[in-house]
Amino acid sequence: MTGIQKYVYQIVGLNYAICVIFKLLWKCVGHPIQYLRRLNKKPPCTRPECLLDESFGSHEFIQLKDVKWHCVSKGNNDKPLMLFLHGFPDFWFAWRHQIKEFSRRYRTVAIDLKGFGDSDKPTEITAYLTSKIREDISNLVRALNYKSCILVAHDFGGTVAYHVATKFPELVDKLIILNSPHPAAFLEAVKTRKSQKAKSWYMVLFQVHYLPDILLRVFDYEFLRCMCGGRLGSAVTDDEIQAYRYMYSKHGFSKQLNLYKAALSYRKFCDTVSTEIDIPSLIIWGAGDSFLDTELAEMNRKYLPKMKIKILDEAGHWPHIDKADEVNTAIQDFLDENY
């Protein structure tokens, strides 16, 4: 990216940031007492009970070269591996409903992506290139003593999964993607669909240094509540909200944004993923997504010839949380099919 392009991204990102700030301030004016209480309310100092729930499995750290990965695993080692990759701005806890459902038949492993949760957080933006993260995922599967896995991914975790399936097809038995377009399909949509270009505003905001992290800290979790279009507080309990508040107060927000900075700054978003992925694939899509057009689900077919689609009309960007039972049923039906 040239110096002029970076400058343009910074200016546009600042404009978006100003809009977000005014939106939050306007909500504060409408409910001043409520927001003053939230500003005075400190995040939990200790891990909420839901993050310590042993029914999710055991917490482990796996050292891979220069990065230590945190994961939560459950199930016997002799069962097939089901590996979960969360999206932004989540961590392993996003898969809590799927861990409990599938750990009876699989060894479920939900990881914290690099920069998220309790995994290492390198400072270099280049460490977050998908071309590097896919190598990490390949090494992680082998470190778990498996040759392949069922790969389940959401949002930016889906972007990583597409890269893994393209570069290491032998590593993926079946591919399950939730509300995440193939990178090439996404770029096509941004170029040809005004609606998708408008919905992708946050990616430019995330190019601004420090400001997104400051916004999160000043407005506490309300910034994420606003960004997620009201998802939090509906399908998520108060205790689960505290889990997110705890994690972000502990680790901050800035390192996670390096995923988006790497994607835009180094032009590697579509690196080696323009070819077909000849792997049985399931696309689960919440039609109420505030960030992605539903049409993107079908646009994936160009790159996933063995793809099936499940559209959930009453789910948003996080279908595995909004409609966990329906998502779990769709996944199990797909896994039961023979190819």
Known catalytic membership, residue 317: yes
Helix axes 156-167, 183-192, angle to 10 degrees: 130
**67's tokens:** 């990065």
Known catalytic membership, residue 278: no
Amino acid at 36: L
Cis peptide before 122 (omega within 30 of 0): no
**Whole-number Å distance between alpha carbons of 278 and 170:** 10
Q: List C-alpha distances in Å: 192 to 71, 184, 196, 205, 305.
A: 38, 12, 8, 21, 22
Catalytic residue chosen out of the listed positions 213, 317, 320, 322: 317
| φ, ψ (nearest 5 deg) of residue 25 | -65, -35
210: left (phi over 0), alpha (psi -120 to 50) or beta: left
Q: List C-alpha distances in Å: 224 to 219, 248, 255.
A: 9, 11, 16
Catalytic residue chosen out of the listed positions 90, 118, 136, 155: 155
Known catalytic membership, residue 260: yes
Catalytic residue chosen out of the listed positions 221, 260, 289, 303: 260
- Residues marked active site are found at 155, 260, 317
